[in-house]
Structure 1
Amino acid sequence: METILFQPLIVPAKTAVLLVFVPDSLTQQIVVNRLLERVGAELGDVVRITRVDQVVHPEVVRSFGVQQLPSFILLRQGAEIWRHNGLPDLADLMRLLTERLQEATNW
């Protein structure tokens, strides 16, 4: 029997995690991917972006209570600090993420 070992996701405490719940529509996935590339380029190591595909991980989508796709959930040290349902434009997304990250570091 073949054993598959999974490596844990290790994220430094100062790094926030942006969970992006993506729909199964190829067109929307392309749009979301382009948006995430820009966000990743802007925020670098401040945020770790993790895509959650509803088809591959429906249990994760349910566990976060996601009702609309795409959805964005920002976590800091395991706690949800921000959520957005729907597809924001890049400027709005960057502004919202930056504000929440600044607030989170002032805890």
Structure 2
Amino acid sequence: MSNQPKTFNELISGDQPVLVDFFATWCGPCKMMQPILEETSKKVGDKVKIIKVDIDKNPLAASNFQVRGVPTLILFQKGKTIWRQSGVVPTHQLVKVIEDNIASKA
């Protein structure tokens, strides 16, 4: 039973929507996003997968999606960007974005 980690492209191309938090360890606002993402995850459950991408360790991923500032949140579904925003996004707004976008694409 092999449980190989999926590549970034495999993750964002699946049927399950994926919210990607592009962040940096030195970024203050990025640290503020951590509890927001945890709270959002509790509220939306398995409707969406939330992953974090450190732009310093993954500069190619950041470059591919034109991430110019951190934090940048991008919601993917089937490999396509369906929403993106830079800066800190409050939990209630993030939950609404996820529910609105997933409901309309389902």
* TM-score bin (small chain): 0.7 to 0.9
Between 88-97 and 61-70, the greater mean CA deviation after superposition: 88-97
Cα distance, 1:79 vs structure 2? 1.1
State whether residues 27 and 70 of structure 2, in contact with CA within 8 Å, keep that contact through their aligned partners in structure 1: no
Q: Work out which structure has the larger RCO, using CA pairs closer than 8 Å and 6 or more positions apart in sequence.
A: 2
Which amino acid is 1:64 matched to?
A: F
Q: Does 1:42 align with 2:57?
A: no
After TM superposition, where is structure 1 displaced by more than 6 Å over at least 4 residues in a row? none
Q: 1:53-97: CA deviations, max 9, x gaps? A: 011111110011111210111111111111111111111111122
| TM value normalised by structure 2 | 0.82
Alignment of 1:26-41 (within 5 A): 27-41=28-42
Query: How many residue pairs are counted as aligned between the two chains?
Result: 100
Between 72-81 and 26-35, the greater mean CA deviation after superposition: 26-35
Aligned equivalent of 1:3: none
**Shift in CA distance, 64/32, structure 1 to aligned 2, threshold 3 Å:** same
Which runs of 5 or more structure 1 residues have no equivalent in the other structure? 1-5
Which amino acid is 2:63 matched to?
A: R
**Shift in CA distance, 79/26, structure 1 to aligned 2, threshold 3 Å:** closer
CA distance in 2, matches of 1:57, 1:32: 19
| TM value normalised by structure 1 | 0.81
State whether residues 23 and 54 of structure 2, in contact with CA within 8 Å, keep that contact through their aligned partners in structure 1: yes
Cα distance, 1:7 vs structure 2? 2.6
State whether residues 29 and 88 of structure 2, in contact with CA within 8 Å, keep that contact through their aligned partners in structure 1: no
Cα distance, 1:29 vs structure 2? 3.7
Which runs of 5 or more structure 2 residues have no equivalent in the other structure? none
Cα distance, 1:47 vs structure 2? 0.5
